[in-house]
Amino acid sequence: MNAPTPAVDYSRLFRLDGRTVVVVGAGSGIGREAAQALAAQGAHVVVADYSPEGAEATAALIAERGGVAEAYELNVLDDDAVEAAAERFGTASALVFTAATNVRKRMDDYSMDEFDRVVNLNLRASFQLIRRFGRRFADNGGGSIIGFASIRAQVVEPGQGVYAATKAGLVQLAKTAAAEYGASGVRVNVVAPGVVETPLTGQIRANEEWYRAYAEKSALGRWARPDELAGAVVFLASDASTFVTGSTVSVDGGWTAIDGRFTPPA
């Protein structure tokens, strides 16, 4: 006989009161918006970033709005620093990481130093964050890990090869971690944005033709704002997603859903 389904208070489905969430890359861009959204739902947010100034600025924004946050300097390329962060915040309920870089060059023009720079930040650091926090979350009864992939994990263009490879790799790392840590209550998912107005896309935004072409490719006919990614993060960090793991949540304005090259007359 099945046990009765417990009553769910849907009014609190997205609330994070009494929980700590670590947001890596929260000093600017999508990470900053996600940190503010999580704090607005009651979370104690650890604002982690390579830039202590950026982390402090985000923590101050949260405090101004009545939220609770602490700034934490973290270089995700430093294995010892990642291990220390996981040790200190291993009892958190969720980890979010957004840090990434890109070198837009065709493959023939790439230096191996550039290759290493992109792979180390986008993939190697993600691997370290997932497994260091994943193990501690598992030991503490569960948690949610949320990474940031990209539409480039699915579709590419010239000059995006290495970046796309790292994002596709992150998707597969998340699926593997979901399988390995799932029995211990750890959920691992990624958010896949389309084109977002952040410092990482500055080169495109500086070219009006390029900028407009990207806007017209999406079903909504525009770029995303960083704050439009925050809802997906809150969803994945909260009890609204307790049966979601190993998934990619696309927040791309329909970019990967449509062809986009031509609108037929009928």
In angstroms, the CA 19 to CA 149 distance is 25
Which carries the bigger pLDDT value, residue 249 or residue 4? 249
- State the average pLDDT for the chain: 95
Res. 111: pLDDT tops 90:
yes
* Confidence band of 79 (pLDDT split at 50, 70, 90): very high
* Confidence band of 204 (pLDDT split at 50, 70, 90): confident
> Which whole number is the average pLDDT over 5-27?
94
Task: Determine the Cα angle at 196 with ends 124 and 246, to 5°.
Answer: 45
Task: Identify whether the C-beta of residue 54 lies closer than 8 Å to the C-beta of residue 29.
Answer: no
In a domain, 262, yes or no: no
Task: Identify whether the C-beta of residue 72 lies closer than 8 Å to the C-beta of residue 50.
Answer: no
How many structural domains compose the chain?
1
In a domain, 204, yes or no: yes
In a domain, 258, yes or no: no
**Full residue range of the structural domain in which residue 55 is found:** 17-251
Res. 198: pLDDT tops 90:
no
Q: What is the pLDDT of residues 143-186, one digit of tens each?
A: 999 999 999 999 999 999 999 999 999 999 999 999 999 999 99
Res. 191: pLDDT tops 90:
yes
- What is the structure's pLDDT at 110? 97
In a domain, 151, yes or no: yes
Which carries the bigger pLDDT value, residue 71 or residue 210? 71
In angstroms, the CA 28 to CA 102 distance is 16
In a domain, 256, yes or no: no
In a domain, 7, yes or no: no
Q: What is the pLDDT of residues 21-68, one digit of tens each?
A: 999 999 999 999 999 999 999 999 999 999 999 999 999 999 999 999
- What is the structure's pLDDT at 199? 76
Res. 5: pLDDT tops 90:
no
The two structure tokens encoding residue 202: 């500055």
Which H or E run contains 144? strand 143-148
| CATH code of the domain in which 142 resides | 3.40.50.720
Residues in a beta bridge with 251: 193
In a domain, 38, yes or no: yes
> Which whole number is the average pLDDT over 70-96?
98
User: What are the catalytic residues?
Assistant: 163
Task: Identify whether the C-beta of residue 19 lies closer than 8 Å to the C-beta of residue 93.
Answer: yes
Res. 1: pLDDT tops 70:
no
Q: For a pLDDT cut of 70, what percent of the chain falls above it?
A: 98
| pTM for this prediction | 0.94
Q: Could you tell me the maximum CA-CA distance found in the chain, to the nearest angstrom?
A: 64
In a domain, 5, yes or no: no
> Which whole number is the average pLDDT over 63-82?
98
Distance of CA 59 to the CA centre of its chain: 18
- What is the structure's pLDDT at 54? 98
